[in-house]
Amino acid sequence: MQVQKATTLIYQKLINSKSLTPESSQKKWIEKCCLPTNDNINWTAAYVLAKKCTKSTQLIEFQYKFLHRRIPTNNFLFRIGIQANENCSFCHTSTESLIHLFWSCDKTSYFWNEVTGWLQNLNLLPKEYTLTNVTALGLRPDVSQFALLINYFLLARYHIWLAKSKENYPNVIHFLCLLKSQYEIETKKGDTRKWKHLAGYINV
What distances in angstroms separate CA 69 from CA 23, 42, 144, 162, one per listed residue? 12, 17, 26, 17
Q: Is residue 202 part of a domain?
A: no
CA separation for the pair 102, 51 (Å, rounded): 21
Res 123: pLDDT: 87
Nearest residue to 115 (alpha-carbon basis) of 163, 59, 69: 163
CA separation for the pair 184, 178 (Å, rounded): 10
CA separation for the pair 5, 64 (Å, rounded): 27
Res 1: pLDDT: 47
Q: Which residues of the chain have pLDDT under 50?
A: 1-2
What distances in angstroms separate CA 114 from CA 4, 134, 164, one per listed residue? 46, 18, 18
Q: Is residue 33 part of a domain?
A: yes
CB burial of residue 22 (10 Å; 0-12, 13-18, 19+):
middle
DSSP-derived letter for residue 43 is H
Q: Is residue 73 part of a domain?
A: yes
Residues linked to residue 95 through DSSP beta bridges, in sequence order: 87
What distances in angstroms separate CA 151 from CA 9, 138, 161, one per listed residue? 30, 9, 16
Q: Is residue 144 part of a domain?
A: yes
The domain total for the chain is 1
Q: Is residue 200 part of a domain?
A: no
Q: Which domain holds residue 12?
A: 2-195
Q: Is residue 98 part of a domain?
A: yes
Res 40: pLDDT: 86
Q: What is the pLDDT of residues 110-160, one digit of tens each?
A: 999 999 999 999 888 889 999 999 999 999 988 777 666 788 999 999 999
Res 39: pLDDT: 82
DSSP characters for 124-191? Answer: SS-TT----HHHHTTSS---STTHHHH-HHHHHHHHHHHHHHTT----HHHHHHHHHHHHHHHHHTT-
Q: Is residue 159 part of a domain?
A: yes
Q: Is residue 203 part of a domain?
A: no
Res 8: pLDDT: 73
The greatest distance separating any two alpha carbons of the chain, rounded to the nearest whole angstrom, comes to 59
